[in-house]
């Protein structure tokens, strides 16, 4: 009897040990699979974007299985339409040098160039943008963002840079709650009427220079304060950066309808290729056709995409959807070109021209001289 009882206990112990062994093996297999899946996701994310946000892939999109035109085909079809990129961060790390061939190949003729945003780092990239402009004046239009928007001293920075010959301010962080980068920059404002922004609006009206504002979210207090700024400073041109990103066509249309001094930086790459987009390019075509004078196209250096080239691809797909070459050229080039060309020569530029001691035949009409024309004269004098 005792022997039988001992036998049953031993058998029970062996069964429990076996069950625990199966459980441990199954748990290890499951955790191993989960870890492998997590590693795969991390590796995929790392392959798309590095720690600075710079895209690592630069492959040219080709025809997909639906028979869409390739980028190469689109560039060839619309080779008579130049593109003026309204928003490009490639002054950072002097990445613009590596992009020259890509821009040449895809008819990106001119670029609004800057780098970091609303931080001390931007002071450095502003200088890089300026040097790029001096080296390639027909390609780059320098903007600046290295302004402390929270201190009165920032007003002198704005005036000095506009006098020097910069063509606009931006991208600056006028409000940011959700951006993984701009929520952390030290010189951002809480909303578009915060800090020294009102005084900056006045200076920009005086110099006829536009401001490129980053605002997120595109509702609530930030947008109500943007509307306030647009109404209180009607002579100031404000460009709403990537206005179509995380926004609805209806909201964009309402802003354009209510505020004639607002321009829209349309980041086609976001709508076409970012997984967070809830719209298609087609959704914005009616708005573009309704307000053709105040739409600008940009790449945002491919932020959130596989590459800047993917952003360029999206611009061409938008142009193709318009089915109107005149309108396409207007939003791709003419609107931004007009914002740059209208700016008058500054007192600093006129003084620099006087110091060149040009002959009467060489001297232009200084009263009607633009900032762009003055810069060409000054740069030509320096080259001699």
Residues 196-211, mean pLDDT to the nearest whole number: 98
Give domain 74-341's CATH number out of 3.20.20.140, 3.20.20.70, 3.30.420.40, 2.70.150.10.
3.20.20.140
Average pLDDT, the chain: 87
Q: How confident is the model at residue 295 (pLDDT cuts 50, 70, 90)?
A: very high
Residue 36, pLDDT > 60, answer no
306 and 48 Cβ atoms separated by less than 8 Å: yes
Structure-block tokens of residue 90: 């490639």
Of 203-217, 333-347, 364-378, minimum mean pLDDT range: 364-378
Please report, for the chain, the start and end positions of each structural domain, with discontinuous segments joined by +.
Answer: 74-341, 347-383
Q: Classify burial at 301, counting beta carbons within 10 Å of its beta carbon; exposed 0-12, middle 13-18, buried 19 or more.
A: buried
pLDDT tens for each residue of 271-288: 999 999 999 999 999 999
- Predicted pLDDT at 383: 66
Surface-to-core class of residue 324, CB atoms within 10 Å of its CB (0-12 exposed, 13-18 middle, 19+ buried) = middle
- pTM here? 0.84
SS3 160: helix
The confidence score (pLDDT) of residue 364 equals 87
Q: What is the mean pLDDT of residues 240-250?
A: 98
* Residue 20 clears pLDDT 50, i.e. is over it: no
Supply the pLDDT for residue 10.
Answer: 42
DSSP β-ladder status, 262-267 and 108-113: unpaired
| Average pLDDT, integer, range 316-335 | 98
State the CB neighbour count (10 A cutoff) for residue 282. Answer: 11
User: Is 51 a residue whose pLDDT tops 70?
Assistant: no
Instruction: Give the lowest-confidence range in 96-110, 152-166, 325-339, 358-372.
Output: 358-372
Helices of type H across the chain = 2-48, 71-77, 96-105, 120-135, 153-164, 197-207, 220-232, 249-258, 268-273, 281-290, 308-322, 325-329, 335-341, 347-354, 371-383
Residue 48 pLDDT more than 50?
A: no
Average pLDDT over residues 204-212: 98
User: Is pLDDT above 90 for 135?
Assistant: yes
Residues in the chain: 384
pLDDT of 33 reads 33
**Predicted pLDDT of residue 15:** 46
Mean pLDDT of the region 244-261: 98
Q: Has residue 298 got a pLDDT over 60?
A: yes
The token duo for 244 is 């179509």
- Per-residue confidence (pLDDT) for residue 9, from 0 to 100: 42
Res 363: pLDDT: 86
pLDDT at 13 over 80: no
More confident residue, 216 or 48: 216
**What pLDDT, on the 0 to 100 scale, is given for residue 384?**
60
What does the pLDDT read at residue 60? 43
């Amino acid at each position: 009897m005792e022997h039988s009882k001992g036998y049953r206990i031993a058998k029970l112990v062996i069964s429990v040990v076996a069950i625990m062994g199966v459980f441990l093996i199954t748990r290890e297999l499951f955790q191993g699979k989960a870890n492998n899946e997590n590693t795969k996701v991390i590796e995929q994310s790392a392959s798309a974007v590095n720690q600075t946000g710079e895209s690592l892939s630069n492959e040219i999109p080709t025809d997909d299985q639906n028979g869409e035109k390739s980028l190469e085909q689109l560039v060839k079809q619309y080779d008579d339409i130049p593109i003026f990129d309204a928003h490009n961060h490639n002054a950072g790390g002097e990445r613009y040098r590596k992009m020259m061939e890509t821009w040449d190949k895809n008819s990106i003729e001119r670029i609004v160039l800057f780098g970091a945003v609303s931080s001390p780092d931007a002071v450095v990239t502003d200088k890089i943008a300026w040097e790029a402009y001096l080296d390639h004046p027909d390609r780059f239009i320098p903007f600046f963002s290295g302004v402390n928007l929270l201190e009165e001293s920032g007003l002198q920075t704005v005036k000095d840079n506009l006098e020097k010959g910069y063509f606009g301010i931006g991208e600056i962080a006028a409000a940011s709650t959700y951006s993984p980068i701009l929520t952390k920059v030290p010189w951002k404002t809480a909303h578009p009427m915060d800090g020294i922004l009102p005084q900056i609006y006045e200076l920009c009206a005086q110099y006829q220079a536009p401001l490129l504002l980053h605002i997120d979210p595109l509702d609530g207090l930030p947008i109500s304060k943007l509307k306030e700024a647009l109404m209180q400073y009607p002579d100031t041109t404000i460009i709403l950066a990537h206005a179509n990103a995380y926004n609805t066509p209806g909201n964009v249309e309402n802003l354009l309808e209510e505020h004639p001094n607002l321009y829209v930086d349309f980041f086609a790459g976001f709508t076409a290729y970012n997984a967070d987009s809830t719209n298609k390019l087609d959704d914005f075509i009616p708005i573009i056709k309704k307000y053709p004078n105040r739409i600008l196209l940009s790449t945002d250096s491919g932020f959130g995409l596989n590459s800047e080239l993917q952003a360029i691809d999206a611009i061409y797909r938008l142009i193709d959807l318009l089915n109107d070459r005149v309108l396409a050229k207007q939003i791709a080039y003419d609107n931004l070109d007009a914002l740059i060309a209208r700016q008058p020569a500054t007192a600093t530029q006129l003084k620099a021209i006087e110091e060149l001691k040009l002959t009467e035949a060489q001297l232009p009409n200084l009263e009607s001289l633009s900032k762009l024309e003055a810069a060409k004269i000054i740069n030509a004098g320096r080259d001699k």
